[in-house]
Amino acid sequence: MKVLVVNTGSSSLKYQLMDVQNESVLAKGNVDRIGAKQPVLEHEPAGLDEVKIPCNAKDHTEAMKLVIDTLIHPDYGVIKNMDEISAVGHRALHGSDKILESVIVNDEVKAILRENFELGPLHNPANLMGIEACEEVMPNTPMVAVFDTAFHQTMPPEAYTYALPYEDYEKYAIRRYGFHGTSHRYVTRRLHELLGIPEEGTKVITCHLGNGSSISAIKDGKCVDTSMGLTPLEGVPMGTRCGSIDPAIVTCLMEKKGFSPEEMSEYMNKQSGVLGLSGVSSDFRDLHTAAEQGNKRAALALDVFNYSVRKYIGAYAAAMDGVDYIVFTAGIGENTPSVREGICKGLSFLGVEISEEKNNKIVAGNGIEGKISTDNSKVGVYIIPTNEELMIARDTVELLNLNDR
Could you list the residues that contact ligand ADP (CB under 6 A)? 210-212, 239, 283-285, 330-332, 335-336, 365
Contact predicate 268/304, CB 8 Å: no
Can you say whether residue 208 is alpha, beta or left, with left for phi > 0 and alpha for psi between -120 and 50 degrees?
beta
Looking at the Cβ atoms of 250 and 368, the one nearer to ligand ADP is 368
Looking at the Cβ atoms of 242 and 400, the one nearer to ligand ADP is 242
**Rounded distance between C-alpha atoms, residue 264 and residue 41, angstroms:** 34
**Rounded distance between C-alpha atoms, residue 253 and residue 206, angstroms:** 33
Looking at the Cβ atoms of 120 and 212, the one nearer to ligand ADP is 212
**Helix, strand, or coil here: 84?**
helix
Residues with a known catalytic role:
148
Looking at the Cβ atoms of 183 and 373, the one nearer to ligand ADP is 183
Task: Supply the minimum distance, in Å, between the C-beta of residue 299 and ligand ADP.
Answer: 16
Sheet of 325-329, strand order: 222-226, 213-219, 203-209, 325-329, 380-383, 370-371
CB count, 10 Å around CB of 134? Answer: 24
Q: Which residue is nearest to ligand ADP (CB)?
A: 331
H or E element, residue 44: strand 40-45
Task: Supply the minimum distance, in Å, between the C-beta of residue 133 and ligand ADP.
Answer: 23
Looking at the Cβ atoms of 278 and 335, the one nearer to ligand ADP is 335
Contact predicate 82/135, CB 8 Å: no
Task: Supply the minimum distance, in Å, between the C-beta of residue 97 and ligand ADP.
Answer: 25
Task: Supply the minimum distance, in Å, between the C-beta of residue 35 and ligand ADP.
Answer: 22
H or E element, residue 50: none
Looking at the Cβ atoms of 45 and 232, the one nearer to ligand ADP is 232
Binning the chain into helix, strand and coil, the percentages to the nearest 5 are 40, 20, 40
CB count, 10 Å around CB of 235? Answer: 23
Contact predicate 281/295, CB 8 Å: no
Q: Which residues pair with 223 in a beta bridge?
A: 218
- Can you spell out the DSSP letters for 189-243? HHHHHHHT--STT-EEEEEEESSSEEEEEEETTEEEEES--SSTTSSS--SS---
Task: Supply the minimum distance, in Å, between the C-beta of residue 389 and ligand ADP.
Answer: 12
In 3D, which of 170, 161, 179 has the Cα closest to residue 122? Answer: 179
Looking at the Cβ atoms of 29 and 221, the one nearer to ligand ADP is 29
Contacts of 392 (CB under 8 A, 6+ apart): 5, 89, 90, 91, 102, 144, 146, 182
Task: Supply the minimum distance, in Å, between the C-beta of residue 252 and ligand ADP.
Answer: 29
In 3D, which of 365, 121, 390 has the Cα closest to residue 266? Answer: 121
Task: Supply the minimum distance, in Å, between the C-beta of residue 257 and ligand ADP.
Answer: 27
